[in-house]
Amino acid sequence: MSAVQISPVQTSLFDLRSPEDGLSLGPLGGMITRQVLGRGAWVDLLPGWLSGTDALLDDLLSQVPWRAEQRQMYDRVVEVPRLLSFYGEDDPLPHPELVSAREALNAHYRAELGELFTTAGLCLYRDGRDSVAWHGDTIGRGKAEDTMVAIVSLGSARTFQLRPRGGGATIQHRLGHGDLLVMGGSCQRTWEHAIPKTARPVGARISVQFRPRGVR
């Protein structure tokens, strides 16, 4: 597709490493905060897990084969309000730093998850008009089984929302440059999540979602 048009990115004020320093993965053990949601669901949070991510963001923006999708919405076809790219079990990831991130996540979560993160879905939110509606990752095994989805956020901060299926109070987290959020337990089938649109000026954000086999 043609070059992606995006808004300028406001990267983290805490990401003060020089470009020569490269990307750095922080420790996971003892640093993650787990929030128990109820109904068997939980989320883990670790702000600033990745530092020195400006170059990684630039590389993914320019090198990933981003594609637009359309979906049937009642009686019309509409554009999906974000760009997408998916890497299956046998596909090489688009950047070696994502390989390192997945290896670190597997080392930390494999015992609890009982398997490995094997796929990666990337979403590009070009500006505040891009979003994702309320949903759970219930295509495949996530519809009936406990699982995990690990999200690494790159670029401008966006609001990540969670709510119980069937109604209840909405929980909000502000995911910024290099932040990690992991949804686990029954989260995909008992809770929903979303990234709402915003009228505030906001730059591009990439969400990297690591999942086990058969979870979408």
Instruction: Give the pair of three-digit tokens for residue 208.
Output: 């990297």
Q: Is residue 25 part of a domain?
A: no
Closest C-alpha to 41, from 111, 125, 155, 142: 142
Neighbours of 196 (CB within 10 A): 15
Q: Is residue 128 part of a domain?
A: yes
The three-point CA angle 173-201-21 to 5° equals 70
The pLDDT assigned to 16 comes to 39
Separation between Cα atoms, residue 104 and residue 106, nearest integer Å: 5
Q: Is residue 16 part of a domain?
A: no
Separation between Cα atoms, residue 83 and residue 81, nearest integer Å: 7
Q: Is residue 65 part of a domain?
A: yes
Q: Is residue 14 part of a domain?
A: no
Q: Is residue 24 part of a domain?
A: no
pLDDT (tens place) for every residue of the chain, 216 residues total: 444 656 554 544 344 344 455 688 999 999 999 999 999 999 999 999 999 999 999 999 999 999 999 876 667 778 899 999 999 999 999 999 999 999 999 999 999 999 999 999 999 999 999 999 999 999 999 999 999 999 999 999 999 999 999 999 999 999 999 999 999 999 999 999 999 999 999 999 999 999 999 999
Q: Is residue 168 part of a domain?
A: yes
The CATH number that applies at residue 116 is 2.60.120.590
Q: Is residue 4 part of a domain?
A: no
Number of domains in the chain: 1
Domain assignment of residue 169, given as a range: 33-70+77-212
Q: Is the pTM of this model over 0.95?
A: no
